[in-house]
């Protein structure tokens, strides 16, 4: 089956024929990635989304970082910083942090579960185009890996002042970053639209 698509970065038209699994097509003019054919894309994405959800729950409930200075211990969870910012009157910043490290990753995983679970059993989830468009729109706003770098910087900054003890949530958060990256990489958008064309 061959189809014509326009490069999303320079608008050049390309005809893409059948490609082997794992092969990718690049724009001959600007080099943009046009399409990559992925193996068992929908099943793998679904598996990563399920694993991610479990790690997400761990990351948000277990202790995150503890701060020990002499006899005093300050124990925190992932949400503590966001709440403190909110209490200090930095509401916009608090909401932005909440959005980029908690709400967006959650909605990405929940959205994909909502779409891919029914599709696996050849059923159409209501509102597929809108939900799928929304999940794709969220993509640039997921910033967990940037937050991880922030954890490292903060730990080094406080090193001389106190002892920082990372809790379970730090490690599950780190694992979640890799799972979400794998989930995003496994998803073949084209296969979702193919299913939609086939089932509706």
Partner 1 sequence: MTFIQKTSLNHGLISCHSCHLLCRRNSSAGIMRCPRCGAGMHLRKPYSIQRTWALIISALVFYVPANVLPITTVISLGKAQSDTIMSGVIYFIRTGMWPIALVIFIASVFVPVLKLLILILLLISVQRKSAWRSKDRTRLYRITELVGRWSMVDIFVVTILVALVNLGAMATIHAGPAAFYFSAVVVITMFAAMSFDPRLIWDTEASSHG
H/E stretch holding 163? strand 163-166
Using CB under 5 A as the binding rule, the residues of this chain from 15 to 34 that contact Zn ion are 27, 29-30, 32
Beta-bridge partners for 23: none
Instruction: Tell me whether residue 9 or residue 43 sits nearer to partner 1 (CB atom).
Output: 9
> What are the residues binding partner 1 (CB under 8 A)?
3-6, 8-17, 25, 28-32, 65, 67, 69, 72, 74, 76, 80-82, 84-85, 88, 90, 92-93, 96-97, 100-101, 129-130, 132-133, 136, 140, 143, 146-147, 149-151, 153-154, 156-158, 160-161, 164, 189-190, 193, 196-197
C-beta separation of 97 from 88 below 8 A: no
Instruction: Tell me whether residue 55 or residue 85 sits nearer to partner 1 (CB atom).
Output: 85
CA separation (Å) from 61 to 24, 78, 86, 171? 40, 8, 19, 13
How buried is 159 (Cβ within 10 angstroms: 0-12 exposed, 13-18 middle, 19+ buried)?
A: exposed
Instruction: Tell me whether residue 47 or residue 138 sits nearer to partner 1 (CB atom).
Output: 138
d(CA 200, CA 197): 6
Question: Contact residues for Zn ion (CB under 5 A)?
Answer: 7, 9-10, 12, 27, 29-30, 32
């Amino acid at each position: 089956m061959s189809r014509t698509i326009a490069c999303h970065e320079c608008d050049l038209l390309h005809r893409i024929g059948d490609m082997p699994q794992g092969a990718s097509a690049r724009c001959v003019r600007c080099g943009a990635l046009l399409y990559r054919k992925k193996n068992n894309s929908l099943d793998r994405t679904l598996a990563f989304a399920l694993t991610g959800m479990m790690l997400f729950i761990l990351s948000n409930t277990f202790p995150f970082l503890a701060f020990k200075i002499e006899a005093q211990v300050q124990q925190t969870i992932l949400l503590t910083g966001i709440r403190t910012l909110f209490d200090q009157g930095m509401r916009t910043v608090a909401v932005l942090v909440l959005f980029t490290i908690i709400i967006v990753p959650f909605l990405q995983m929940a959205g994909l579960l909502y779409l891919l679970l029914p599709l696996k059993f050849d059923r159409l989830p209501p509102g597929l185009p809108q939900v799928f468009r929304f999940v794709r729109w969220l993509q640039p706003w997921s910033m967990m890996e940037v937050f991880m770098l922030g954890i490292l910087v903060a730990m080094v900054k406080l090193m001389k002042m106190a002892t920082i003890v990372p809790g379970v949530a730090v490690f599950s958060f780190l694992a979640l970053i890799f799972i979400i990256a794998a989930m995003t990489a496994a998803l073949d958008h084209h296969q979702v639209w193919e299913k939609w064309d086939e089932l509706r």
